[in-house]
């Protein structure tokens, strides 16, 4: 594999003077899914926002699809689909309105593709967001994020606040989107079962650090089981000089 789709080097980023993440390295190879596992407030959203160019790093850099995010934030955002942790459209908006709004910002048949996705996801396109269930709302957000057929997806707790049925509904659609075309995904969650189902790789976010979960043996895959992930989550951050967040090739 050549240039990873997402590459984060020595990133320090936060809000004002407060650094939420310190000296973070992470690589997500093209066509793979990395799950960011961490508790609430660990810095998962901050990392995703840095990938979108919504936060200016105080040190380090982020490259998405080979583009430096700081220099080309607008271009990067056109290449990326982003799903926030709650349906953040205006309550009076319908999913169709949201697609029209997005259609003005993206080239290509965004509205038509988005409407087809809404139909596949079984979301009523003309009902205002305030009348949609949380699960329907999240599926609408996912459809909107996929409408321009992005190769990179940034998903911030898309299953948060959903019951088991809603979670499964959204998860099935995420899996469907992965099967439709090769996509690179960075998915923040604290849900171990979701992580087990979708991850090619897992990185634990804790105490301002991001630590890739390593396989027990070289060449082996990391053990994707809830127990292994829970242990990794509880181990927390690795002291500086510990396991690197990514292997440089």
Binding residue for another protein, selected from 1, 175, 231, 243, defined by CB under 8 A: 175
For another protein, the closer CB: 163 or 180: 180
Binding segment toward another protein, per CB under 8 A, in 39-47, 98-106, 124-132, 189-197: 189-197
For position 33 contacting another protein by CB under 8 A, the verdict is yes
For another protein, the closer CB: 219 or 227: 227
How many residues touch another protein (CB under 8 A)?
25
Binding residue for another protein, selected from 1, 112, 172, 231, defined by CB under 8 A: 172
For another protein, the closer CB: 70 or 149: 149
For another protein, the closer CB: 50 or 201: 201
Q: What is the largest CA-CA distance in the chain?
A: 53
For position 197 contacting another protein by CB under 8 A, the verdict is yes
Round to whole Å and give the CA distance between 138 and 85.
Answer: 8
Round to whole Å and give the CA distance between 15 and 207.
Answer: 15
Q: What sign results for the dihedral spanned by CA atoms 209, 212, 217, 222?
A: positive
Binding site for another protein (CB under 8 A): 31-33, 168, 171-172, 175-176, 178-180, 192-194, 196-200, 221, 223-227
């Amino acid at each position: 594999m050549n240039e990873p789709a997402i590459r984060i080097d020595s990133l320090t980023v936060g809000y004002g003077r407060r650094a939420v993440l310190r000296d973070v390295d992470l690589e997500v190879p093209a066509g793979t899914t990395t799950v960011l596992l961490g508790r609430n407030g660990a810095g998962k959203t901050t990392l995703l926002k840095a990938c979108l160019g919504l936060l200016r790093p105080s040190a380090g850099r982020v490259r998405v699809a080979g583009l430096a995010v700081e220099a080309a934030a607008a271009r990067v955002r056109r290449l990326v689909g982003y799903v926030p942790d709650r349906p953040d459209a205006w309550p009076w908006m319908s999913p169709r309105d949201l697609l029209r709004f997005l259609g003005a910002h993206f080239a290509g048949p965004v509205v038509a593709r988005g409407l087809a996705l809404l139909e596949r996801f079984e979301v009523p396109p003309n009902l205002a967001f305030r009348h949609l269930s949380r699960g329907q709302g999240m599926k609408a957000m996912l459809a909107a994020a996929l409408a321009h057929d992005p190769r990179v997806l940034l998903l911030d707790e898309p299953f948060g606040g959903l019951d088991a049925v809603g979670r499964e509904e959204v998860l099935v659609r995420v899996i469907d989107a992965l099967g439709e075309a090769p996509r690179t995904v960075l998915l923040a969650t604290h849900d171990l079962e979701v992580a087990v189902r979708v991850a090619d790789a897992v990185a634990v976010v804790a105490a301002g650090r991001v630590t890739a979960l390593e396989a027990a043996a070289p060449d082996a895959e990391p053990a994707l089981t809830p127990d292994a992930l829970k242990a990794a989550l509880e181990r927390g951050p690795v002291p500086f000089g510990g396991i690197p967040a990514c292997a440089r090739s």
